[in-house]
Amino acid sequence: MSLAMFPLNTVLFPGCTLDLQLFEARYLDMISRCMKKGENFGVVCILEGAEVGLAPEGYAVVGCEALIRDFKLQDNGLLGIRVEGGRRFRILEAEVRHDQLLVADVQWLEDLPEHPLEAQDADLLALLEALAEHPMVASLDMGSEAQGQQALGNKLAYLLPFTETNKVALLQLDDPQQRLDAIQELLDQMQGE
């Protein structure tokens, strides 16, 4: 499966919302093609270097499909789009095309079935509910509910101020319990425990 890539200094997770402003011709063309053909694109995190003229080696090999949910012209004249994270993928091969758009052959990653929340998840669920009250988080319309461990882990990994490297590592985990355990470990490190 070939997928156009949007390298960013952030990590998108399944079920999470990301607002983007587009001004570069390559990304405006990419979004136009995606909308006309009903296709999606991929978001990959930049690990080194800058977005412009990005070398294929400068980004994470695991990313997340971006589903276009809304678009509008911003007050500053730029196109704004809202995307929702879809399926996770691993980049097999990538190339920068003549228009400087990064296109990759991807393999979709299988998610384990959603596990119900357990009593031990109560503190992390309370943290998500507290985060959802912040105006910037509330504006994303992601809600504070989590139907299971996968959704809880994805939302927390997306919203908490972890490094991009840590977020990429969390995105790579297939097991929702492992993701929640890793999030708790990172939180303990942040609190100096």
pLDDT attached to residue 106? 95
Two tokens at 145?
């509910």
Tell whether 83 is covered by a domain.
yes
> Residue 182 is inside which H or E element, if any?
helix 176-190
Beta bridge partners of 8: 45
pTM equals 0.89
Q: Are residues 14 and 96 in the same domain?
A: yes
Tell whether 148 is covered by a domain.
yes
Residue indicated by tokens 């011709």: 25
Tell whether 114 is covered by a domain.
no
91 vs 50: CA distance, rounded Å = 19
Q: Are residues 186 and 126 in the same domain?
A: yes
Tell whether 113 is covered by a domain.
no
Q: Are residues 86 and 137 in the same domain?
A: no
Q: Are residues 56 and 131 in the same domain?
A: no
Q: Are residues 134 and 157 in the same domain?
A: yes
- How many C-beta atoms surround the C-beta of residue 96 within 10 A? 15
pLDDT tens per residue across span 167-187:
999 999 999 999 999 999 999
pLDDT attached to residue 54? 43
Q: 164-172 and 176-190 helices cross at what angle (nearest 10)? A: 160
Strands 2-8 and 62-73: unpaired
Q: Are residues 154 and 104 in the same domain?
A: no
Q: How far apart are the first and last CA of the chain?
A: 43
pLDDT attached to residue 53? 41
What residue ranges of the chain have pLDDT lower than 50?
51-55
Q: Are residues 33 and 102 in the same domain?
A: yes
Q: Are residues 25 and 102 in the same domain?
A: yes
| Half-sphere exposure in the Cβ direction for 163 (13 Å, CA) | 8
pLDDT attached to residue 20? 92
Number of domains in the chain: 2
160 vs 70: CA distance, rounded Å = 24
Q: Are residues 67 and 100 in the same domain?
A: yes
Name the residue range of residue 42's domain. Answer: 2-108
| Domain of residue 131, CATH code | 1.20.58.1480
